[in-house]
Structure 1
Amino acid sequence: MKQMDRRLLILTRLREETAFRAADLAEECECSVRTVYRDIDALCQAGVPVAAMPGEGYRLAPGYHLPPIAFTVEEAVQLLLGSDLAHGLGTPEQREAARSAAAKVEAALRPDTRAETDRLRHRIRVSDWMRREPTPWLSLLQQAVANDQVLWLQYHSFSSDELTERKVEPYSLIFYGEDWHVVGYCRLREGMRDFRASRIRDAQLLPERFERMAGMLLAEDRSRSTPEEVRIWVEQSAVPWARETPAFGFDREEPAEGGAVFVYHAWDLRRLLPWVLSWGASARVLSPAHVA
């Protein structure tokens, strides 16, 4: 943890009503107790009155208050839920950043807001299934997108069921459909492509840099902002099960003769095909025409 982040975390902890021992602060900041002592001394020199409570630990001197951050209960719950989502989807470094951010939000809450937020978070929460290991390439993909570096990928193609080697100019990294996706220019296919991270079998960061082509990126953004509507009729006997296991992109259900119509919005129609085929004769695509 960087020095500034560490001292800010210590400061947010000292704002709480409970005193903190140096050993506890050191464990949370993942540093030595001696480093915590130096940080507390630096805060004191900066004018922050840190009081040492014999047998208890450290806290801000009574009567001293930092400018409050007035989060509402709704704001705090949404920020903390977002932190929980990031914890389940990111790299170890991102998980640590999410944990640290959540601690700062919690420390900034008024006691009454904190109590109500804690109550709601026990009822509104992110399921533990989200806390899975992300793709091993996530840090590398982020670095490539941030620095405009060309990627070499060994990629398993869904359509051809084969491994191909690609050189990709990565424009963005997007999470949707329960997976991370690299959107970029594929030199092999000579066009913009969407690479699902879970299908990457190997990846390397090449030293070559690329220049972003704005027109190509804008075209990709436009295409991704208008997903295609897909209407699927499901036989009545299968409707309850289809409701329980919807595919990604589900929008709504409409009543129909002999069953119901499930309306989806999808960027990649191939992602819906396994779901449709799983119902056999109990489901059929009504539109778009080129799929029906």
Structure 2
Amino acid sequence: MNKTDRLLAIVLELQGRQVVRAEDLAARFETSVRTIYRDIQALSEAGVPIIGTTGTGYSLMEGYFLPPISFTIEEAVTLLIGTEFIEQRFDDDYRDRAHVARRKIEVTLSDGVRSETSRIRKSLRLLAPGKQAALSNERENLDKIRRALLDGRKIRFHYSKKITDSTGSRHSERTAAPYGLVLVEGSWMLVARCDLRQDIRHFRLSRMAELIELDERFELPAHFDLREYTPLDDRHLRVRLRFNHDIADKVKESNYHYIEDMKEHQDGLDVVLRVRQLDELLQWVLGWGAGVIVLEPESLRNRIREEAQKIVNRY
């Protein structure tokens, strides 16, 4: 990064934070603290109102804001793709805001950058997910949960969960304190403290119904940080499968979330998975037909035989 770019980046850092130490700026831009001192002096001489406090750091004078800056073609494409993604996967409120933001970005571009950005975007496409009815329900729940998060209020909803040892499902009413929302493999998940379980649980928004925001308030625990939160991994069952060579590429491209390791050799593609219940894999394994064989455990081999016999009997 050259000096001009670094000076601009320093102002942006100061603009986005209340106080920044010289040591943090040096680490951020991979340079020495002495260089940061010289950069701060250069910015001050150029008229940028920087306030320095010994032992604390640097800050911008209140009210100072950097005038709009220009975007490179790559930056503009990145931002516009981001707004398109939000329009597809977020609720109506954010979708409308993303549309407005996209228009604002486009009008700030120079004619040359706008033309080149448009040309590049025509070569890229984000396909909206299918199952519009389910997606509509997910968006509606997303909007309600987001508002409850902002209000600091609990929610109540009916939840449908598949029963692993049968083809049915069970329904329950839950009251929960919403801690955060996570987009996992195209599906929105709620991380919340469930009153029924008295612990943190995860809920798929697509399985929620009759969701309402309650008057009861909650406080997010001081130690909880969604960005650092890692759920307990309770997938203790190890499964090993072997796929035929002719479908190996399709298996690799499936990006199945239970897959832990893959290794291809002369006999086929060996895949190792970890799950909580063997039935979680049943439909996925059967979907590959005769192209896959269960190496272990024997209990899953038996379940596959049983299901295969049921299919034969049905036909």
Using the size of structure 1 for normalisation, the TM-score is 0.63
Choose the corresponding residue for 2:178, options 167, 170, 173: 170
Residue 264 of structure 2 is matched in structure 1 by 255
Letter of the 2:150 counterpart: A
Aligned ranges 1:63-78 → 2 under 5 Å: 69-78=69-78
Contact 2:179-2:226 within 8 A present in 1 as well: no
Whole-angstrom distance in 1 between the partners of 2:276 and 2:115: 42
Whole-angstrom distance in 1 between the partners of 2:274 and 2:203: 19
Whole-angstrom distance in 2 between the partners of 1:274 and 1:149: 38
C-alpha deviation, 1:219, in angstroms = 11
SS of residue paired to 1:221: coil
Residue 205 of structure 1 is matched in structure 2 by 213
Unaligned stretches of 5+ in structure 1? 1-65
Whole-angstrom distance in 1 between the partners of 2:141 and 2:290: 39
Residue 13 of structure 1 is matched in structure 2 by none
Choose the corresponding residue for 1:236, options 234, 245, 253: 245
Q: What is the CA deviation profile of residues 190-249 of structure 1, one whole-angstrom value per residue up to 9, with x for unaligned ones?
A: 221110001112211110011223446679813379x99987542223324435544357
- Residue 86 to residue 167, structure 1, CA distance change in 2 (3 Å): same
Aligned-residue Cα RMSD (Å) equals: 4.0
Residue 154 of structure 2 is matched in structure 1 by 150
Contact 1:173-1:182 within 8 A present in 2 as well: yes
Whole-angstrom distance in 2 between the partners of 1:219 and 1:105: 28
- Residue 150 to residue 129, structure 1, CA distance change in 2 (3 Å): closer
- Residue 251 to residue 118, structure 1, CA distance change in 2 (3 Å): farther
Contact 2:180-2:226 within 8 A present in 1 as well: no
Letter of the 1:194 counterpart: H
Contact 1:149-1:210 within 8 A present in 2 as well: yes
Q: What is the CA deviation profile of residues 112-171 of structure 1, one whole-angstrom value per residue up to 9, with x for unaligned ones?
A: 111111111000121244794432222111112222211111000123611011111110
C-alpha deviation, 1:285, in angstroms = 6.9
Whole-angstrom distance in 2 between the partners of 1:260 and 1:286: 12
Residue 25 of structure 1 is matched in structure 2 by none
Residue 79 of structure 1 is matched in structure 2 by 79
Q: Does 1:139 align with 2:143?
A: yes
C-alpha deviation, 1:274, in angstroms = 3.7
Q: Could you tell which deviates more after superposition, 68-77 or 196-205? A: 68-77
Letter of the 1:69 counterpart: I
Residue 30 of structure 2 is matched in structure 1 by none
Residue 14 of structure 2 is matched in structure 1 by none
Letter of the 1:199 counterpart: R
- Residue 192 to residue 179, structure 1, CA distance change in 2 (3 Å): same
Whole-angstrom distance in 2 between the partners of 1:178 and 1:123: 22
Q: Does 1:95 align with 2:69?
A: no
Whole-angstrom distance in 2 between the partners of 1:96 and 1:219: 26
SS of residue paired to 1:223: coil
Letter of the 1:183 counterpart: V
SS of residue paired to 2:156: strand
Whole-angstrom distance in 1 between the partners of 2:239 and 2:105: 41
C-alpha deviation, 1:257, in angstroms = 3.5
SS of residue paired to 2:145: helix
Whole-angstrom distance in 2 between the partners of 1:240 and 1:144: 43
SS of residue paired to 2:180: strand
Letter of the 2:288 counterpart: W
Using the size of structure 2 for normalisation, the TM-score is 0.59
Contact 2:92-2:143 within 8 A present in 1 as well: no
Q: Could you tell which deviates more after superposition, 159-168 or 115-124? A: 159-168
Whole-angstrom distance in 2 between the partners of 1:185 and 1:200: 16
SS of residue paired to 1:103: helix
Whole-angstrom distance in 2 between the partners of 1:153 and 1:91: 18
Residue 121 of structure 2 is matched in structure 1 by 121
SS of residue paired to 1:155: strand
- Residue 251 to residue 67, structure 1, CA distance change in 2 (3 Å): farther
Whole-angstrom distance in 2 between the partners of 1:230 and 1:69: 53
